[in-house]
Amino acid sequence: MATATLRGLKARQVLDSRGRPTVEVDAIASTGAVGRAIVPSGASTGRHEALELRDGDPKHYGGLGVRKAVGHVAATIAPALAGMGLDDQAAIDARLLELDGTPNKGRLGANALLGVSLAVSHAAAAARGEEPYVHLNRLWRGRLAALGPDAAAIDAGPTMPLPMVNMISGGLHAGGNLDIQDVLVMPIGAKDYSHALEMIVAMYRAVGAVLAERGLESVLVGDEGGYGPKLRDNEQALEIVVDAMVACGFEPGRDAAIALDIASTHFFDPARSSYSFANTKGASISSDAMIEMLSSWVERYPVISIEDGLAEDDWAGWTKLTQALGGKVQLIGDDLFATQSARLAKGIEAKAGNAILIKVNQVGTLSETLDALLLARRNGYRPVVSARSGETEDATIADLAVATAAGQIKIGSVARSERLAKYNRLLRIEEALGEAARFAKIR
388 binds, among Mg ion, ligand 2PG, none (CB under 5 to 8 A by kind): ligand 2PG
**Which of the residues 24, 131, 224, 391 is marked catalytic?**
224
Q: What are phi and psi of 438, to 5 degrees?
A: -95, 150
- 54 or 388, CB closer to ligand 2PG? 388
Confirm or reject binding of residue 386 to ligand 2PG (CB under 6 A).
yes
Please identify, using beta-carbon distances, which residue of 44 and 111 lies nearer to ligand 2PG.
44
**Residue 205, marked binder:** no
Beta bridge partners of 166: 184
> Nearer to Mg ion by C-beta: 55 or 308?
308
CA neighbor of 264 nearest in space, from 412, 52, 46: 46
Among 44, 287, 340, 392, binds ligand 2PG (CB under 6 A): 44
Report if residue 52 touches Mg ion, rule: CB under 5 A: no
35 vs 115 by CB, closer to ligand 2PG = 115
Q: Which residues contact 28 (CB under 8 A, 6 or more apart)?
A: 6, 7, 8, 9, 10, 34, 123
Of 55, 224, 314, 368, the one binding ligand 2PG by CB under 6 A: 224
- The site string for ligand 2PG over 234-263 (x = CB under 6 A, - otherwise) reads ---------------------------x-x
User: Is 388 annotated to bind ligand?
Assistant: yes
418 is annotated as an active-site residue: no
Stretch that binds Mg ion, among 93-101, 136-144, 257-265, 370-378 (CB under 5 A): 257-265
Q: Does 404 bind ligand 2PG (CB under 6 A)?
A: no
What is the rounded distance in angstroms from the CA atom of residue 128 to the CA atom of residue 106? 33
Catalytic residue among 24, 359, 368, 422: 359
16 lines the binding site for Mg ion (CB under 5 A) = no
* Interface pick for ligand 2PG out of 135, 377, 382, 388 (rule CB under 6 A): 388
Instruction: Work out whether 261 is an interface residue with Mg ion (CB under 5 A).
Output: yes
Binding site annotation covers 307? Answer: yes
| By CB under 6 A, residue 341 contacts ligand 2PG | no
17, 45, 264, 287: which one contacts ligand 2PG (CB under 6 A)? 45
In the residue annotation, 346 being an active-site residue is answered as no
Is 261 annotated for ligand binding? yes
CB nearer to ligand 2PG: give 301 or 337.
Answer: 337
Among the listed ranges 114-122, 188-196, 268-276, 333-341, the one in contact with Mg ion (CB under 5 A) is 333-341
343 binding ligand 2PG? (CB under 6 A):
no
Residues that bind ligand 2PG (CB under 6 A): 42-45, 181, 224, 261, 263, 334, 357, 386, 388-389
Binding site for Mg ion (CB under 5 A): 261, 334
Residues with active-site annotation: 224, 359
